[in-house]
Chain A
């Protein structure tokens, strides 16, 4: 699984990085985003909803996004 390390970066940087990186994984694959910014917990799922991507959940600072399209 590809990992995108955004630790220490404030929002919206993790969401911008996620938007740039998701096209680099194959459709159906999962990208793991590491972020310790408190806003990421709201903004990563919200971005997935707005972009029609699949939010797979979080485990601490690790967020999983599946590329749906």
Chain B
């Protein structure tokens, strides 16, 4: 049987070993309601407080600015709705880049959105972003680094321009937390534990003190009134442990994964008519995207799966809506034959070498089958 190699860490990572230990311990000690005054409740409260302090430190935030949500998407929805509601008197206008996560586009669609275009590597211009801000702009949203092509956005420059106009900036930091330093200047920040090696079902919503915010839900006594109901405490504890562990060796992992991605970028570019997209340098350490001319993206994902490699694609045939990735479209790059490879701490050099050995033959075979050889 072929050994399976998961190359889609940007969708979700296997649980970090440290998180597994923390999860089991928290199932023992963190089952009680942290709001209760008896001993078990106080024990649970200590675990929750510790997790919050730990995550806050990783984000450069104060613990009372950080709330846990059921997942990254609810953090984004809650963050956008809450900031917009807090500034409802200013207006309903929201500015975002054309390459945000689809959750941002969905939440912005409830308001009055302006999408700022990106260049061919997928980066917004801070000046173009600033020019889109208006007197009725309630908030702006910018992804810290693209989950689809890896390009890092000029968050600090955009944040400075938003501050100058008094507009709060929501930064979607899902792909950078635990991997890279969190950029400065955010008013609201969101993340997802599943992307840093924590369990699924934990999102993070951080709101800077002083930012006007009104919860999207009826306000209750949980999570500063910003995310309703109790958190999944054992999962939150495991998420915080995974984040501490990821940050402890993030510099070494950054160096290791960057070198592997550089190797993939160089090798894939040698395959005829394959275009590597996204910024080659100012990028996430672990992610690379390329498009193979004349190849069907779904066939490519399935053929690689049959060879033991699990990758994803932004091609229309692989999406539930049958539309191509809005990120690739915004960049003006080829959307068919698209593959996103994202590495993790479990990815070895041998995995990458094997992938690079297999890929050219798969691309050539699919082109041949499509009658597209020699075009």
Interface residues, chain A, with chain B CB atoms under 8 Å away:
10-13, 15-16, 19-20, 37-39, 41-43, 45-47, 49-50
Contact = CB atoms under 8 A, between A and B. Distances in A.
Residue with the greatest number of chain B CB neighbours at <10 A, chosen from A43, A47, A49: A43
B335 A16 contact: no
A12 B370 contact: yes
B375 A16 contact: yes
A38 B314 CA distance: 13
Interface in B319-374: 322-324, 328-329, 332-337, 370-372
Contacts of A42: 324, 328-329, 332-335
Interface string B152-165: 00000000000000
Given A12-B372, A46-B334, 19 more contacts: A11-B316, A11-B335, A11-B336, A12-B296, A12-B336, A12-B370, A15-B293, A16-B372, A19-B372, A38-B322, A39-B335, A39-B336, A41-B329, A42-B335, A43-B334, A43-B336, A45-B332, A47-B293, A50-B273
Given A12-B337, A15-B293, A50-B293, A37 B370 contact: no
Interface string B268-302: 00000101000000000000000001111000000
Given A42-B329, A42-B335, A16 B370 contact: yes
A11 B317 contact: yes
A25 to B, nearest CB: 15
Contact of B294 (A15, A39, A41, A46): A15
Contacts of B328: 42
A10 B317 contact: yes
Residue with the greatest number of chain B CB neighbours at <10 A, chosen from A13, A16, A19, A39: A39
A16 B328 CA distance: 19
Interface residues on B, range: 20 to 34
Residue with the greatest number of chain B CB neighbours at <10 A, chosen from A12, A39, A46: A12
Contact of B375 (A10, A13, A19, A46): A19
Nearest to A23: B375
B284 to A, nearest CB: 23
A15 B336 contact: yes
Contacts of B336: 11-12, 15, 39, 43
9 shortest interchain CB distances as A-B pairs: A19-B375, A12-B336, A46-B334, A39-B324, A11-B336, A39-B316, A42-B329, A16-B372, A42-B335
Residue with the greatest number of chain A CB neighbours at <10 A, chosen from B295, B329, B335: B335
B315 interface: yes
B335 A19 contact: no
B296 to A, nearest CB: 6
A47 B275 CA distance: 11
7 contacts: A11-B296, A11-B324, A15-B294, A39-B336, A42-B328, A47-B334, A50-B275
A46 B293 CA distance: 10
Contacts of A10: 296, 316-317
Contacts of B294: 12, 15-16, 19
Contacts of B371: 16
A41 B316 CA distance: 12
Contact of A38 (B273, B323, B372, B375): B323
A10 B328 CA distance: 17
B231 to A, nearest CB: 40
